């Protein structure tokens, strides 16, 4: 009887050891899978000579905070969708960037926000446009993807959907910042000048820099799933309910597990007409181009030849990262598959 009990105990211990070993091996294998995250805070006329050391430090610290928030999710075997939401929420809540709290003003003196998110595993996507009372539009875009049969909801309809799903609508006053208001007034004083004139002549660089802007994130998680998300306040002084590329799936936001995830920033009209984000994926799929080559082909050649300005961040299904832009600067950062962090603002 004693011998039988002893054998039973030994067998139990052995099973326990095997189970623990199996879990450890599973975790080890999982941790060896490539994963990474890339963020951006907009591209434009961003010149070091026009940036104070204090402001530059603020941008770098906020980008670092966003990277850490998203990467921590991935590091703990969370999903690429959760990582993107964590990273972008940090940027939406900061007045430094043209999204959420830092959204620019329309011609009517309001703030109209757009956002989109896409799941590379399922090709499901959700987007919102022209919302005025949503603190974190990216979160609402995800709810559209996960809790509705639709892809894109706009304006009051999107806000009604938000209320039905437990999102508290906030006062539009939340989005007011003195800096953005002043930028609107400066642009109104120069109504006769086009966006291109302001950019090329470097008239009031700070205003030109924020004529348009976006925040975005792309991620690859340990399960091999890609996702992309983008959020923006749109174009300063925009009129007539203008909507840019951000909530247009394939233009400013795209993800496909077979190729890559892309988030764009720049002159939205050009990105819509060129279907920029999807075009990068298509070149990888049909032409078998590498991620960086595909990104450069689309941004540095196609977009540039068309006369558009801006850039993209991207990550492929092997964890390779690509960043391409044809402007003087782009707020950007990444943590790659080796855990190495990089944060940059200027082109060189």
Q: Which residues are catalytic?
A: 214
- Count each helix (H run) and each strand (E run) in the chain, helices first: 12, 12
Tell me the C-alpha distance between 152 and 115, whole Å. Answer: 10
**Which residues on neighbouring strands pair with residue 332, listed in sequence order?**
40, 344
What is the β-pairing status of strands 152-154 and 125-131?
A: parallel
**What is the enclosing helix (H) or strand (E) of 314?**
strand 310-316
Tell me the C-alpha distance between 115 and 131, whole Å. Answer: 9
Nearest to 112 by CA among 239, 10, 21: 239
CA-angle at 328, arms to 70 and 205, nearest 5°: 100
Tell me the C-alpha distance between 102 and 104, whole Å. Answer: 6
* DSSP 8-state code for residue 142: H
Classify 213 as helix, strand or coil.
strand
* DSSP 8-state code for residue 249: B
């Amino acid at each position: 009887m004693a011998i039988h009990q002893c054998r039973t105990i030994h067998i139990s211990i052995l099973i326990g050891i095997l189970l623990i070993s199996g879990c450890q091996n599973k975790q080890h294998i999982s941790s060896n899978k490539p994963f990474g995250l890339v963020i951006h805070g907009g591209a434009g006329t961003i010149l070091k000579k026009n940036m104070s050391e204090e402001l530059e430090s603020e941008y770098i610290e906020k980008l670092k905070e966003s990277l850490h928030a998203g990467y921590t999710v991935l590091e703990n075997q969370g999903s690429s969708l959760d990582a993107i939401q964590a990273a972008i929420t940090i940027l939406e809540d900061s007045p430094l960037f043209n999204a959420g709290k830092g959204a620019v003003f329309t011609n009517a003196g309001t703030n109209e926000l757009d956002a989109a998110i896409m799941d590379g595993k399922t090709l499901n996507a959700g987007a919102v446009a022209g919302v005025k009372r949503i603190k974190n539009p990216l979160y609402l875009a995800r709810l559209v993807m996960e809790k509705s049969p639709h892809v894109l909801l706009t304006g009051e309809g999107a806000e009604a959907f938000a209320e039905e799903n437990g999102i508290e609508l906030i006062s539009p006053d939340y989005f007011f910042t003195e800096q953005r208001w002043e930028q609107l007034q400066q642009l109104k004083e120069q109504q006769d000048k086009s966006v291109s004139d302001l950019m090329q002549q470097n008239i009031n660089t700070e205003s030109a820099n924020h004529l348009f802007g976006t925040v975005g994130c792309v991620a690859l998680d340990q399960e091999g799933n890609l996702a992309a998300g983008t959020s923006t306040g749109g174009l300063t002084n925009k009129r007539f309910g203008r909507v840019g590329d951000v909530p247009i799936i394939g233009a400013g936001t795209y993800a496909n597990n077979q190729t890559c995830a892309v988030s764009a920033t720049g002159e939205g009209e050009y990105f819509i007409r060129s279907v920029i984000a999807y075009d990068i994926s298509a070149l990888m799929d049909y032409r078998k181009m590498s991620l960086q080559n595909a990104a450069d082909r689309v941004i540095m050649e196609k977009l540039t030849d068309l006369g558009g300005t801006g850039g993209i961040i991207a990550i492929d299904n092997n964890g390779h990262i690509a960043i391409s832009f044809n402007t003087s600067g782009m707020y950007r950062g990444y943590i790659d598959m080796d855990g190495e962090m990089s944060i940059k603002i200027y082109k060189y």
